[in-house]
Amino acid sequence: MSSKNPKLKKLKAVREAFDKKDFQSAHDTSLQILEDEPENYLAQVFFGRSLLELGRIDQSEQAFRSAIGLNPKQHLGWQGLWKACEQGKKWDDCADTLLELAILFGNSDDATKCADAVQKLIDLRREHGSRHQLADALSLYLPDSAIYPTLSTLPVPDLTNPTLTTIASSQAAVYNSLPILEEIVSLNELDEMETLEKEVDNRRKRLHAGSPQSVRNEVIREVYGRSKLPSLYDEILNHPNTPDELRRQTESKQLRHKRDHLLSLPLDDPMKRQLAIEVEKLISGVVLLRIADELAWSVFIDGQDCEVIEEYDFDILRQYLKLFPEQALARLISVYLAYLGVPLSDEKEIATPSASIDDVFSAISKSESDLQPSIFARRVMAEVYLQDQDYQTTITVSEAGLELVKVHRVDTGSDLIFVKKAFNVALATSLVHLYPPKYHTRALRILDEVLSEDPNNVNCLMGRGYVLQRAGKWSEAASCFSQVSDGHPEETRDSIRAQEEHAWCEIQLNHTDRAIAELKAVIELLENEEDSDDDRSRCWWRLGRAYWEVGADHREEAFKNFITALKHSSSFAPAFTSLGIYYSEAANPLDPIRASKCFQKAFELDAREGDAARRLAEGFAEEREWDLVEVITNRTIEGEGGFEGSQEIIAGRYLPVNAWAWKASGVVHLNRGNLPSAIQAFQVALRADPEDQPSWVRLGESYSKAGRHAAAFKALHHAEELRPDDWMCTFLIGDVHRQTGRFQDAIDSFHSVLQVQPNEPGVLTSLARTYIDLGLSELATGFISRAQDSFMAALRISFQFLDTNTSFHSFVWKIVADAIYYLSRVSSFTDEAAVRSVLSQACGYLTSDSGDRLAGSVTIPVKLPDDRLTATDALKVAVAAYSHRISLGLLGAAATGSAWFDFGLSLFNLAGKVFPEDEQRDKALKQALASIKEAIRAQPGEDNYWRALGDMNLVSRPKEAQHAYIRALEIDSKNVDVWTSLGFLCSYHDDLELASEAFLKAQTLDPDHTMTWVGQALIATRNGNHAESCMLFEHAVSLSADVPEADIEFSRRELDQYLSAGHNHRASPNDLFPAFFALDRYLKQRPDDASALHMFGLVCERIGHIELAIDRTDHAITVLEAAYEETEDPIIERQYIIANTTVARLRLAVRDYEIALSSFQTALGLLPEEGEEKVLRSQCLFGSGLANFKLGALDEALESFEAALVTAGDDLHMRGHVTVLLAQTLWAMGTEEGREAAKTQLLDCITQDPENLTAINALAGMGILTDDDGLIDAALSELKSLPLDLRHRRDPRRDFSYILKQHHLGQGKLTAALSEAQKAVHVEPAREDARHMLATLLLQCGEPAAARAVISQGGANGDIADLRASIGLRAVARALSDDEEGLKEAWSMAQKGVMLAPWDRRSWNVLAYLRNRR
């Protein structure tokens, strides 16, 4: 005992310290105890408490847990831990601790403390826990709790004094757990609902999440699979204290919970069957006890598998009415039962209400959206719609019902076999009777499926019989109807109808006697049936048809039966059709008027009466009442399913009943331009009769007009195979050829038609129009002569039409005028006699004067000039022809607008060519504008008319032009020509930015439109971007369209670039070949353009075609001379002088000195002695001197040279040029005196103008040729005295450097030449010609590697010209590398060089050299 006393004293001291609230002392003492005895439970508890009181909560919690670890069954440690966790706000740890305490107290049978711990735990979870945690805490009061045996020992609560104990709530919960169960259920319901919605929302955002319903089903399976609610619901239902109202609510919740779980499970889940049984048991209980749970009742009703509605339990339906009178299904059941005559109540004293089928429809329409999920409602709807013969709605309702049956099977796992069968029967019956035979294929599949399970099903047998009737299988149909009548010996309506249909089949099989007997028997049976007027009417009509088929002797008997049929039912349409046939074919006398009325009546009653409709349409077509024909055909087509079914016919799903109606509809649509509908109609018609050749022709014509040319060819060629002698088919094939641009094939087709149908107006006009189209195509591609022949052929064909036909002259004169107008676009005629002949023939028709319309531009009759015929003469005839067309009279806005537009445009072009700037021209232009405006009044929606108005006003009235272009763009915003014209308008009036935007828009719409590139090039020129301008013109010329304006502008810039100072020694005259070809193409269209002729002469001079240059320049002189005689314009005079100077220079080149001298003298005679023409005069004087020198007249030559120097005067630049040319001439004399005189002239020139590099270079050249080092040094000293930038500016081609290198090479100083070349590259490393010279010298020195390096360093950014110049050097340098691979590469480069410049001899030399090395 003595050994323990110190420890007990310390524990006692600790208690005393706690009592005194000396927590630090308690802490220290308990710590001392633990140091001596670490496993002392009380010391550990005291230590934890002291730490808690000192506010050291975490350490306190650790200490209490240590104590629990020493003795987990002692409650002191747990209580301390609970307080520590509570102060630390660790609520989950606190809850766990309270639960352990409750279990400890429960195990120790301390009910009061156990209940207290549970109460604290529940309070904690209410304040700081989730619903799930609170539910778990509350479940401690339930019998399945581990501590329930202890809690059940609590005393019964004193309800009169609830504050008697602190555990009153626990006592109440133990002795009545129902409120606890209700709260737990509520918490679980809320928790599951929240979890469900949250999880569904999260999963729907995942990739490949599936449909919303599938996601929801997946979550329901997971949540409901672990749900506690089913067991909780059972506990409430089994609780003795549960009131009836709570029991009903719980049963309802349990039903919905289990049903939702059932619906979420897949069909193959093993739980589904068990859940389905449980749900069915719950529903049956609700129905048995008459509980007002609408879901259970509706599911019960929908789950009944009844073949007919009469098999449903009407007592159940009546009970549903009582329980849920406000539900939509209840309203439908009430009306439907009343319609069937079924009492709505079991009480006999209550009268049975009545309702019509309209009342049922009203109930359906009012609540249709609410009735959609109900299978029973769909059954009722299908039944009433089928009875009302609303087959389309029946199909929709039945399909929806079948879908509900399928969903029911997936949801519940049970099949509604009879319900599915009922829906299929209704669906098949409707498909049979809706637009027969449109849906018969589908109906037959359903009928066969039902009959395979129920071979005696009356509705399906009848339906199958109707399908076979429509297919013409009368024997098989009769067998079906016999099966119905034999299987129902009692005389039901179905049996009677089957006998009637069997008799009708007998009629079709020509068993008329048997059929007549059967029909008479059926009529007797129908006499006893109520509401059988329609059936009797049909039978009497069929009896009449039977007599009609017997023969002509029984036609009157048939007539009587038709009348009897109408007496029973005046709305029976087939009887009226038969009466109409009787009146039109058998009556005596025939009565077509009465027949027509009968047909109209039949068609009014039933659009499916195809025979009546066809006869009516034929009658109206004979009377040319096309609108009525269209009405009849459209209604007939609607009667067999409407246009919406045409795609199914085209796809081959069924054949049209009335092919004639589709064919007639196609013709109407074709005439009205409704091409898609026309194509569709002809396709449908051809499905019924694929051998109908006229329909193939019409189909091809429709395709052609719709722009579907490939399909048109196929259709027309097929029609041609069916009937090769049909010239209309050949004509249409030719028209398709014309539309696709195969003009020659079209012409051949039209000529073949004319061999069969000569002078056929339509063929002649189409042939003439095709010749014009061919001519325009040839004109655009540069085949001028061919184009002229095509236009003349069009005129000859048109004249043939005018001579052989008396109508449609206005249209033909459009063709005549167009052909002549396009002919006038050619400047000169290759066959002038032929052109004169056709124009004279045209003038022979133009004898009537048009009054003021021609505005004096053309006199009537038109007379052609006796001398040379020009394009202007043709244009005058075209203007007169367009005017004549107007005089003939016009029909329609399109013809009026076209006529005035053509006339105005041609008159505008003529006025600009034949009239000077005077009153006469203004009058003509005013008339042209008035004509265009007249065209616009006729057709304000034609954008080309507005564009023409804008073009005419572009210069003089820019605002009107802008308005016209904008109006044109409002009509067609994608018209490239309008955007281009707008760009030129803005450019002409200096709005370059807007012009560029307009051209850019046009280029976006059509990148190959040439004039847009021309416009952009002109804008670049005005902005000073000459390089870009040249590039744009080059692109414009490369496009397929032939635009002369682009050719001339491109050629001018190419020549300017060649003549510019930027050319160097590598520049070749071959660079002018593109300009040569462009000018040649331009002059083919405009051969009398003097500027172009002169420019072409200059280009030919540079490329060495001197004779051609002389020819073109002489032609230019002739044109200028004629123009000057008419106008005496000084500008033309100056052009004439320049042209004479050019041709004189060219004559010198071909050594025709006398004519050259004459031309120079002509130019000098026209030039003034004084004035601004010093350059021209100096050139003429110098040229005259040179010509005299060559002719041996030295005195005259020197006199001319001196005069040239005098003319130059103080102009050092001009004088320097003349001096250099004079020195070169003196040097060319070949005498020593001449050479010395040349040197003297150059030295004097350099003295007066030290910066004249041309003279210095010439002097250096003379020194090199005479080996005069002093002269070379003098020239070098003069050159080196100039600043480097001035030297380069004055010598852009680096002539002096070139001469110096040639001097060194001539002296054999290769090293010096190489040094000079290296210096040139060092000074100007970007000059490719300097690098090429250096590379050439390196190759001569035997250094191919260095040569390749020099070329490769400079050629990275070179253009195609640089590549042409350097590729030969590259090839030689690579070949000298002496390896096989290098030789192959060099050979490839040499071949490429020949391809790049086949005209360059150097390329061929390189190729020959490499071939020799190989």
| d(C-alpha 865, C-alpha 883), whole Å | 21
Segment 339-368 mean pLDDT: 74
Contact 249, 290 (CB under 8 A): no
pLDDT tens for 113-172 read 898 888 888 888 888 888 888 888 888 888 888 888 888 888 888 767 766 677 878 888
Task: Choose the weakest-confidence range: 267-271, 308-312, 912-916, 1149-1153.
Answer: 912-916
Assign 637 to helix, strand or coil: helix
The per-residue pLDDT for range 896-944, each reduced to its tens digit, is 888 888 888 888 888 877 776 667 778 888 888 888 898 899 889 888 9
pLDDT given at position 651: 45
Asked if the bond preceding 574 is cis, omega within 30° of 0, the reply is: no
Greater confidence (347 vs 138) lies with 138
Residues 6+ apart with CB under 8 A from 992: 986, 1019, 1022, 1023
Confidence of residue 790 (pLDDT cuts 50, 70, 90): very high
Residue 797: which residues within 8 A CB-CB, separation 6 or more?
Answer: 764, 767, 768, 771
Supply the pLDDT for residue 542. 93
CA distance 119 to 1308: 124
State both tokens at 1341: 């020195």
DSSP string, 1011-1053: HHHHHHHHHHHHTT-HHHHHHHHHHHHHSSS--HHHHHHHHHH
Q: pLDDT at position 5, please?
A: 59
Residues 773 and 776: their CA atoms lie apart, in Å, by 5
One-letter identity of residue 207: L
* Sign, Cα dihedral of 533, 536, 542, 543: negative
> For 166-208, how does the pLDDT look when each residue is reduced to its tens digit (9 = 90+)?
787 888 888 888 888 888 889 888 988 988 888 888 888 887 7
**Inter-residue long-range contacts of 363-368, CB under 8 Å, 24+ positions, other chains counted:** 363/331, 363/332, 363/334, 363/335, 363/336, 364/332, 366/328, 366/331, 367/328, 367/329, 367/331, 367/332
Q: Is the pLDDT of residue 3 over 60?
A: no
State mean pLDDT over 490-515: 88
Q: Which of 591, 637, 645 has the alpha carbon at shortest distance from 614?
A: 637
CA 334 – CA 366 distance, rounded (Å)? 14
What is d(CA 412, CA 264) in angstroms, rounded to the nearest whole number? 10
Give the model's confidence band at 1065: pLDDT under 50 very low, under 70 low, under 90 confident, else very high: very low
As a whole number of angstroms, the distance between CA 525 and CA 494 comes to 12
Question: pLDDT, tens digit, for every residue of 467-495?
Answer: 999 889 999 999 999 998 887 766 678 88
Instruction: Say yes or no to pLDDT of 29 above 80.
Output: yes
> Could you tell me which residues come within 8 angstroms of residue 303 by beta carbon, excluding any fewer than 6 positions away?
280, 283, 408, 412, 414, 416
Highest mean predicted confidence (pLDDT) among 440-449, 1073-1082, 1184-1193, 1230-1239 = 440-449
Please provide residue 1401's backbone torsions phi and psi, each rounded to the nearest 5 degrees: -60, -35
Quickly state the pLDDT bin for 736 (edges 50, 70, 90).
very high
Comparing C-alpha atoms, which of 912, 917, 831, 922 is closest to residue 879?
Answer: 912
**pLDDT computed for residue 655 by the predictor:** 66
The vertex-1385 CA angle with 1382 and 1387, nearest 5°, equals 110
pLDDT score for 780: 79
The pair of structure tokens assigned to 761 is 């107006």
Tokens of 272: 């589904």
Q: What is the pLDDT of residue 1061?
A: 45
Q: Which amino acid is at 525?
A: L
- 366 sits in the region (left: phi over 0; alpha: psi -120 to 50; else beta) called alpha
Is the per-residue pLDDT at 1356 higher than 50? no
DSSP letter for 830, please.
S
Express each pLDDT in 684-717 by its tens digit: 888 888 898 998 999 999 999 898 999 999 999 9
The whole-number pLDDT of residue 1219 equals 79
Give the C-alpha separation, 384 to 338, whole Å.
Answer: 13
Long-range contacts of 114-121 (CB under 8 A, 24+ apart): 114/147, 114/150, 114/151, 115/151, 115/154, 115/167, 115/170, 115/171, 115/174, 116/166, 116/167, 116/170, 118/147, 118/151, 118/170, 119/166, 119/167, 119/169, 119/170, 121/95
Check residue 1036 and give its pLDDT.
Answer: 80
Select from 1168, 1203, 1170 the least CA-distant residue to 1185. Answer: 1203
Cα 1157 from Cα 1187, distance rounded (Å): 6
Residues 6+ apart with CB under 8 A from 151: 106, 111, 114, 115, 118, 140, 141, 145, 170, 174
| 1 Cβ contact partners less than 8 Å away, ≥ 6 residues apart | none
Q: How confident is the model at residue 1289 (pLDDT cuts 50, 70, 90)?
A: low
pLDDT tens-digit series, residues 211-261: 888 888 888 888 888 888 898 888 888 888 889 899 899 888 988 898 888
pLDDT digit string, tens, across residues 606-632: 888 888 888 888 888 887 787 888 888
Q: With DSSP H G I counted as helix, E B as strand and the rest as coil, what are the percentages for the chain, rounded to 5?
A: 75, 0, 25
pLDDT > 70: percent of the chain = 92
The CA distance from 97 to 67, in Å, is: 14
pLDDT for res 451: 92
For 411-484, strand residue ranges (E) read none
Q: How confident is the model at residue 443 (pLDDT cuts 50, 70, 90)?
A: very high
Sign of CA dihedral 506, 510, 512, 514: negative
Among 817, 816, 737, residue whose Cα is nearest residue 777: 737
Q: Residue 807 corresponds to which tokens in the numbers above?
A: 């109508």
Q: At which residue do the structure tokens 């009944």 appear?
A: 304
Max mean pLDDT range (31-35, 365-369, 648-652, 1091-1095): 1091-1095
Q: Would you list the DSSP string of 1257-1303?
A: HHHHHHHHHTT-HHHHHHHHHHHHTS-HHHHHHH-TT-HHHHHHHHH
Buried b (16+ CB within 10 A) or exposed e, 297-318: bbbbbbbbeeeebeebebeebb
* Residues, the chain: 1414
Closest CA to 733 of 779, 666, 723: 723
Give the 3-state secondary structure of 1055-1092.
Answer: HHHHHCCCCCCCCCHHHHHHHHHHHHHHHHHCCCCHHH
Output the DSSP codes for 242-267. Answer: --HHHHHHHHHHHHHHHHHHHHHS-T
At 468 the pLDDT is 93
1145 confidence band (pLDDT: 50, 70, 90): confident
Whether 846 has a pLDDT exceeding 60, the answer reads yes
How many other CB atoms are found less than 10 A from the CB of residue 527? Answer: 9
Return the top range by mean pLDDT from 538-542, 880-884, 1240-1244. Answer: 538-542
Model pTM?
0.62
Q: Does residue 896 contact residue 880 with C-beta atoms inside 8 Å?
A: no
Alpha-carbon distance values, 632 to 335, 600, 993 (Å): 41, 10, 61
How many percent of the chain have pLDDT more than 90? Answer: 16
Cis peptide before 676 (omega within 30 of 0): no
pLDDT averaged over every residue in the chain: 83
Tally Cβ neighbours within 10 Å of residue 1325. Answer: 11
Q: Please report which residue ranges of 1192-1211 form alpha helices under DSSP H.
A: 1194-1208
**Residue 212, C-beta contacts closer than 8 angstroms, at least 6 positions apart:** 200, 204
Residue with tokens 């008997």: 557
- Check residue 1064 and give its pLDDT: 46
Question: Model confidence over 792-803: pLDDT tens digits?
Answer: 999 999 989 888
Average pLDDT of span 430-446: 89
Residues 753, 774: Cα–Cα separation, whole Å? 19
